[in-house]
Amino acid sequence: MTSVVNSPVASFLESGSKQLWIDGAWRPAADGAVIESINPSTGEVLCSFAAGGAADVDAAVAAARRAFEGPWSRFTPVQRQNVLLAFADLVDEHADELTHLDVLDMGAPIGRPVSSFTPAEVLRYYAGWATKIHGETISNSVSPDIFTYTRREPVGVVGSIIPWNGPLGSAIFKIAPVLATGCTMVLKPAEDASLSSVRLMELFAELNVPAGVVNLVTGVGSAAGAALVEHPGVDKVAFTGSTAVGQQIVRAAAGNLKRLSLELGGKSPDIVFADADLERAVPGAGMGVFANTGQVCCAGTRIFVERPIYEEFVEGLAHFADSLKVGNSLDAQTQIGPIVSQRQLNRVSGYVTSGLEEGARAVTGGRRIETDGLASGYFLRPAVFADVKDEMRIAREEIFGPVASVMPFDTVEEALARSNATTYGLGGGVWTNDLGRAHRVAHGLRTGVVWVNGYGYFDPAVPFGGHKQSGWGSELSVHSLEEYLNTKAVWVTT
């Protein structure tokens, strides 16, 4: 098992309580409050960090406003590009350390990265866009003596709130477009996993960037997060998290009609046809549910299987689930790590109980693991339920844990209708060797992303976002830049 003793991670954890990064300086929370960071693999305290509140958010927003209207506004696109590239180099240099912090803080297995690309790649991708943001000239019908053109201008101060299931990547997803467009920001990470964000700010502090461009306020959502969303000095909120909290943010943002981008929850369908290659589809659909211990917003937790292969698929999925090594996140052999907290473990276990009570067939898993030295952590054996009905809670509600619901279907039309019969619309998958059918299903699914004969691929250049109650706007790609820019029309009479 990998050890953190005498490593940069150990030095970071032992260096005292982590503070807020506001206006280019470290400071404790205004009231001195702190939160303990818990290792979900062991239940042990890693360290403590500041629990910021409304006063800290006020200070951070004011600093971001001063930077936005002051020195940062005078940075040229090339200078912003250079900031992103320099930050990418630092993130690359410290990649193992940053990854290690997420492994300890939220339980991602060290041998199975959450993302298929590195955070530095996202920064470099947006560095390329920093110099390519421009307006256009437009011919008008008023007069040939009037020159009309548009400008693309940064929205202003951005409040970014990120989740605990992939904290390092989520932080970079928010920071990169802010720097590329010339906005400034206040970052609020989830209280269950804030350490990699703190370390990111330590690295960011090494750059030649004006104070206040990026600020960090750690703390609980009901205090720091709510204050950030409601703050009249924030021009835009970029949020990744649950649909329920997203709905609260929409209501709270009404005060000054903030711009919002929301990447929310999902209950994604994964459709397996009888002609699919089951040697690929079983483990592919399985990891579409179980990757990152099921703590993925687009997890394909509703698996629809064409009836002729239904029982064969269920048996294969159960065997695959049983073969996965569940263990300490520091163990390089671990495939499934712990659930992030005792609170979340209780929540997921409650859904397992609900599935049993509502009559689903429990094929395997679903029990807490209290052997092999794992009793003090928050471990759950991946669960497979068969014969699940669409009206059951495990088929309707986002569980955010390693629980698969498998259901038979008979026709393409039925599979699409049942897949779309949800308030969510984030991801979806289809497994088939019929290319025409693959396109038909991809077009018919009311989701922001569809994977064909694979699941869960991401790339900085490809947009990711949801339909319906899975969110507004996109993460990644050029499309996300639109969320951080305003368009201004200019009329010049000569």
pLDDT at 67 over 50: yes
**pLDDT tens column, 29-56:** 999 999 999 999 999 999 999 999 999 9
Predicted confidence at residue 303, as pLDDT, reads 98
The structure's pTM equals 0.95
pLDDT band at 397 (very low <50, low <70, confident <90, very high): very high
Query: Which one of the listed residues 263, 306, 475, 483 is annotated catalytic?
Result: 263
Predicted confidence at residue 112, as pLDDT, reads 78
Cα distance between residue 301 and residue 266, in whole Å: 9
Residue 251 tokens read as 């209501």
pLDDT band at 494 (very low <50, low <70, confident <90, very high): confident
Q: Parallel, antiparallel, or unpaired for β 302-306 and 403-409?
A: parallel
- Is 357 a catalytic site residue? no
Burial of residue 1 (CB within 10 Å: 0-12, 13-18, 19+) is exposed
Predicted confidence at residue 448, as pLDDT, reads 98
Predicted confidence at residue 6, as pLDDT, reads 47
- Is 121 a catalytic site residue? no
pLDDT at 116 over 90: no
> Domains (ranges, CATH) in the chain?
8-264+471-493 (3.40.605.10), 269-459 (3.40.309.10)
Q: Parallel, antiparallel, or unpaired for β 236-240 and 259-263?
A: parallel
If you average pLDDT over every residue of the chain, what do you get? Answer: 96
pLDDT band at 117 (very low <50, low <70, confident <90, very high): confident
Predicted confidence at residue 5, as pLDDT, reads 46
Mean pLDDT of 62-80: 98
Other Cβ atoms within 10 Å of 475 Cβ, number: 25
pLDDT at 101 over 80: yes
Predicted confidence at residue 484, as pLDDT, reads 98
pLDDT at 2 over 60: no
**pLDDT tens column, 213-260:** 999 999 999 999 999 999 999 999 999 999 999 999 999 999 899 999
Task: Please provide residue 115's backbone torsions phi and psi, each rounded to the nearest 5 degrees.
Answer: -115, 155
**pLDDT tens column, 258-311:** 999 999 999 999 999 999 999 999 999 999 999 999 999 999 999 999 999 999
Predicted confidence at residue 4, as pLDDT, reads 52
pLDDT band at 460 (very low <50, low <70, confident <90, very high): very high
Is 344 within 8 Å of 380 (Cβ atoms)?
no
pLDDT at 1 over 70: no
Query: Which one of the listed residues 47, 183, 297, 298 is annotated catalytic?
Result: 297
Mean pLDDT of 157-178: 97
Rg (CA), the chain: 23
Cα distance between residue 476 and residue 182, in whole Å: 17
